[in-house]
A and B are shown apart, each in its own frame.
Chain A
Amino acid sequence: MNASWTRRRTTWPWAIPALALLGPFLLWPLGAMVWRAVTPDGSFSLGPLGDVVGDGYYWRRLGFTAGQAAASTALSVLVGLPAAYVFARLRFPLRGFLLALLTVPFVLPTLVVAIAFQQLVGPGGWLNDVLEAMGLDPIRPLGTLGIILAAHVFYNVSIVIRLVAAVWRNLDPRTEEAARLLGAGPLAAFRAVTLPALTPAILSAAALVFTFTFTSFGVVLILGAGNPDLDTLEVVVYRLATRLVDLPAAALVSTIQIGATITALTLYSYFQRGATRSLTLRGERSRRLREAGWGQRLLAFLVVVALGVFIVAPMAALVHSAFTVGASDVATLENFTSLFDDTGRQSFIPPLDAVRWSLTFAAGSAALATVVGLASARAIAYSRGAFGALGDGLLMLPLTVPAVVLGFGYLVTFNRDPYDLRGSLWLVFAAHALVAYPFVVRSVLSTLRAVDPRVPEAARMLGASSWTVWWSVEFPILRRPLLAGALFAFAVSLGEFGATVLLQRREFATLPIAIFDALSKPGEANLGHALAMSTLLMAVTAAAFLLIERLRYRDTTGF
C-alpha cells in the first residue's frame, strides 16, 4: 500500500506505442491469415482445413517438426546440464568470458550458423580432415537429421546453461550435504534435493528451446540441403508461400505453428515463475577449481574443452573458409575485397548495398524498438492486476510468431488498396522492429522492476520536476539496460532472415538475403562472397553480443 507513486500514475498511455506497432503489424496480419485459411474462395469454408487434415503429408511434417524439436531439446538439456553445474558451482579463470563465448551463438543469424556448419562438416571440411587423419571414412552429414540436431544444440545449449546455472548458483549446497549426512549417496542426494529445485528451470529452458527449434527455418533450409524429409512446418510455409500455390494451406499451417509456439511459451512462462520462486537469494557458493575433487576437475575440463571446441569449431571453420575458398593454398583477403567490387556482376545483389541496407534496417528498427520497448516496459512495470498480465502477454506475442509466418501474414494482408504495401521496405522495417522490441522490454523491465519506486519520489522531494526526475534519475539508471536492449535489437535485425526473405526486394536486400542469394548461385566466387559476408555478419553480431554482456548489471536486484 505504500507504492502509490506507481499507483497514482496513469499507465495506459505508455502502452500506446506498442499497440500502434502490434495492432497493424501483428494482430491484423495474423487475423487476416486465419481468415484467409477459412475463407479460401471469399466465403467461409472448412474445406481447406479438411484437405490439410486429411493429407498425410502435413501430419508427417508436423510429426517430424515436433520430433526433431523434442530431440534437439533433449540433447540441449543433456549437454547443458553438466555445463550448468560447472558454471554454477566451480570457479575458474576466464569463467565469465567462457560463458559469454558459449552464448554467442544465441545472437548469430541462423543463416550464418547454417553456413558455418556446412563449412565444418561439408566435403573438405575440418571434420572430414580429422576423420581422414584417424584413418576413418569421410562422412556426408549434410542433408541428414544429425547435422540439423547438432546445429540446434549449438544454438540452444547456452539457454539451458544460463537458465539452469542461474538457479543452481543460488542453491545452498549444504542442503545436498545434509542429505549426504542423512545417508543418501551422491546420486540419490542429487535426485532428492538438487534436481527438484532445478526442475522448473530445466523445464522452462526446455520449453524455450523447443519453441526455437520447432520454428527452425534457416538452419533446416541450408543444412537440410533440399531433403524434403527434413522440412519443418516453417519451411513448408516458406515453400507454399513462395510458390504462391496454396495460400489457404500455408495460412493453416501457420496457424498451427502459432498455436504450438504459444503453448510452448506459455509453459515457459509458467515454469519460469516456478524457477524464480525457488530462488532464495544468497551469496554465490561456488568452489575454486583448485579445491575441487578430481571428478569435478575432470568434468570442468571436459565441459570447457568439449563445449568450447563444439562452439568455436563451426565459427572458426567459417572464418577459415572465408579466407581460403577460391584461394590456391594460402589465406587471402580476395573474398572480402571483391565484395566491394561490383564490376561484372549486375545480376547479383551488390554486397555493399546489402551492407548498407542491413545497417539501415538495423539502426532504424533498433531505434523504433527502443522507444516502443521502453514505453511498454514502463506500462508493464507500473501496471498491476489484469492490465499487467495482459501487457505481459502482449509482450510475449511477437516472440511466439515464427518469422516466416509473420512475413507470410504481411504478404496476405498488405496486398490490396489502400494498404498495398507489396514490395515496400516499410514492411521489412516493421517486421524487424516487431521481432526486436521484446528484447528491449526484457532488458529494461528487470531493471525497472528492481528500482525502488521511491527513488524518483526522493528526487521529487529534493526539488526535481517530473521531467528532471526522468532525465537525471530514471534515464541514467536505465541507460545501460536500454543500450543493451538496443544492441540486442540491432543484432536481431541484422540477422533476421525468415520474414525478410518473403518481404524483400532486390533493391533493398539485406545481408542475410545477399548471403542466401550468393549461396544459391554456382561457382566458387559466389561461395566466397557468401562466406565473407557471413563472417562479417558474425563478427558484428558477436561483437554486439559481447558488448551487451558488458552492459548488463552484475545484479539488477542488488542496488
Chain B
Amino acid sequence: MASLVVEGLYRSFSDEVLAVENVSFEVPDGHIAALIGPSGAGKTSVLRMIAGLDEPNLGDVRLDGHSLRRVKPHRRGIGMMFQELALFPHMNVEDNVMFGLRMAKWPKPARRERAEEMLALVGLTAFATRRVDELSGGERQRVALARALAPQPGLLLLDEPLGAIDEERKRWLRNELRAVLRSVQTTALIVSHDIRDAVAIADDVVVMDAGRVLQSGPLATVVAYPITAEAAAMFGYVTLIAGEVRERGVFEQGVGSLPLPPELRLTGRVRVMAHPSSLRAVPTSAGESSGVTGLVSGTQPDGPTQLLKIMVGTRQLLARWAWEGSAPSTGSQVALAVRSDTLRFYAVSTQPVLSGAS
C-alpha cells in the first residue's frame, strides 16, 4: 500500500496541443480512486505517466512521498491492468500470473502458491494451465487483474477495467472488482469513462475534461457538489434553467424561474441544474411546482408509475410522474417539483461557482 501524489503534470502531443495540463490530485493510502471523464480527456495519458510508460514534460509523481521522476517503470512497484489486457499470448494462465513474481525473483514454490492464491481470489482456480486464448473476455479480464495484483504492487492502476464487458455483466463485475480490491487492500486508481464504475467501486473521484482536472475529492462530496456544470453533467445532472438573474431569481423565457439563494451573489447568465433523482413531474396546478414547466413529449411506463419525457425549453429530460390518476398526454404542460436544497447554480462564464446549499 502506498499513497499517491500527482503534482502539476503537463504533457503535450505536439508544440501546440496539450494532452494534459496541470493535473494534480492525491490518492490516500489504501483508497480506491476513480479517474473519470469523457474519451480524450487525458485520463489514460495521466495513468501512463504515473506508470512511467510516458514521461511528463513537467510535474512529478510521488509514491509514499518519494519522487518517481528518475525511476524506470519496472522499478516503480506499480501494477497496471491494461484496457487491452495485454496478456502474454505464449504463456498459460498461471505463467501469466507468475511473471511479475519471477521478475521479483520469488522462489518457485512461493510463486506457485501466490499464483494459486490470486487465481482463487478471482475465481479462476481451475484455469491455471489453460492457454489464454482459450478464455472468454471476462476470464481474461480476471487473469489480467490477478497478474497485476500478484507482485503486491503498492499502487494498482486499472485502465478501463470493464471497457470490454457487456452491459449486463458489468454490474456484477463492478461488485466483484470492488470486493477483490478491498480484500487485497491496495491503493488503486481506476480510469473509466463510465461514471457508474466510479460510483460502484471508488472511495474518491477525480474528474477530468479536456486535459484538466475539474474536481477531485471523496466520491460522495464530488457527486453531491459538482464544482462545474461540466462535472455536474458528467454525474448525470440535468439543466432546469439556463437563463438570466433577475430580481433574486433565475429566469428563462418559456420555461419559468427558480429563486436564487440569497447567499449566492450571481449576476448575468446562470445555469440551474439538478440530479434526476430529485426531480418529480407534477400538475402545473400543484403547490409543489418549483416554477419550472415543460411540455410532455412522451411517456414510458415504469412499474406503477410513469417516466415522462419533458421538453424544458430546448432540452429534454426525464422525470417521474407519481401523481394520482393517469399521466398527462403528449403535448400537455407539466411542472417540475424539486427540493430547493438539491439545486446547483453555475455561472455561465469563465468562473465556476459552487452552490451554497451546504
Residues of A at under 8 Å CB distance from B?
A: 1-2, 4-5, 8, 451-452, 454-455, 457-465, 468, 472-473, 476-477, 558-559
Contacts and interface: CB of A to CB of B under 8 A. Distances in A.
A465 B82 contact: no
**What 7 pairs between A and B have smallest CB-CB spacing?**
A462-B100, A463-B103, A454-B86, A559-B89, A458-B86, A461-B80, A455-B86
B80 A458 contact: yes
Contacts of A462: 74, 79, 99-100, 103, 147-148, 151
Given A461-B73, A461-B74, A463-B74, A454 B82 contact: yes
B133 A558 contact: yes
10 contacts: A2-B44, A457-B53, A457-B86, A458-B147, A460-B74, A462-B99, A463-B151, A465-B72, A477-B89, A477-B90
A461 B133 contact: no
Contact of A559 (B51, B79, B99, B133): B133
Contact of B89 (A1, A5, A451, A459): A451
Interface in B45-60: 48, 51, 53-54
Contact of B74 (A451, A454, A464, A558): A464
Contacts, number: 76
A8 B73 CA distance: 14
B78 interface: yes
B233 interface: no
Contacts of A476: 90-91
Nearest to A8: B54
A461 B78 contact: yes
Contacts of B179: none
Contacts of B147: 458, 462
Interface string B301-335: 00000000000000000000000000000000000
Nearest to A473: B88
Contacts of B89: 451, 455, 477, 559
Given A2-B44, A455-B89, A460-B53, A465 B74 contact: yes
Contacts of B99: 459, 462, 464, 472
A477 B89 CA distance: 7
Give the residue among A460, A461, A472 with the most B Cβ atoms within 10 A: A461
Given A465-B74, A477-B89, A452 B84 contact: yes
A313 B117 CA distance: 60
A529 to B, nearest CB: 46
A461 B51 CA distance: 7
Contacts of B148: 461-462
Nearest to A462: B100
Interface in B62-119: 72-75, 78-80, 82-84, 86-91, 99-100, 102-104
Nearest to B82: A454
A553 to B, nearest CB: 9
B293 to A, nearest CB: 45
Contacts of A464: 74, 99, 103
A87 to B, nearest CB: 24
A443 to B, nearest CB: 16
A455 B85 CA distance: 8
B86 A452 contact: yes
Contacts of B91: 476
A460 B103 CA distance: 10
B13 interface: yes
A4 B78 contact: no
B151 A454 contact: no
Given A454-B86, A457-B82, A463 B13 contact: no
A451 B148 CA distance: 19
Contacts of A473: 88, 90
Nearest to B144: A458
A410 to B, nearest CB: 41
A384 to B, nearest CB: 15
Contacts of A5: 53
Contacts of A452: 84, 86
A549 B89 CA distance: 20
Contacts of B151: 462-463
A459 B147 CA distance: 10
A463 B100 contact: yes
Interface string B137-155: 0000000000110010000
A190 B88 CA distance: 42
Interface in B29-49: 44, 48
Contacts of B132: 559
B100 A454 contact: no
A458 B53 CA distance: 10
B103 A468 contact: yes
A511 B104 CA distance: 52
Contacts of B44: 2
A28 to B, nearest CB: 39
A457 B86 CA distance: 8
Contacts of A472: 99, 102
Nearest to A4: B54
A420 B227 CA distance: 79
Contacts of A451: 89
Give the residue among B51, B84, B147 with the most A Cβ atoms within 10 A: B84
Nearest to A461: B80
Contacts of A458: 80, 82, 86-88, 147
Contact of B84 (A454, A461, A463): A454
A477 B133 CA distance: 13
Nearest to A7: B54
A341 B132 CA distance: 55
A452 B74 CA distance: 19
Contacts of B48: 4
Contacts of B104: 463
Contacts of B82: 454, 457-458
A482 to B, nearest CB: 13
Interface string B1-14: 00000000000010
A457 B148 CA distance: 12
A418 B322 CA distance: 97
A132 B90 CA distance: 57
Give the residue among B84, B88, B133 with the most A Cβ atoms within 10 A: B88
Contacts of B90: 473, 476-477
Nearest to B102: A472
B88 A455 contact: yes
Nearest to B40: A1
Contacts of B51: 461
Contacts of A461: 51, 53, 73-74, 78-80, 148
A152 B303 CA distance: 74
Give the residue among A454, A462, A463, A558 with the most B Cβ atoms within 10 A: A462
B322 to A, nearest CB: 46
Given A8-B54, A461-B79, A462-B99, 9 more contacts: A2-B44, A4-B48, A454-B82, A455-B87, A457-B73, A458-B87, A459-B99, A461-B74, A461-B148
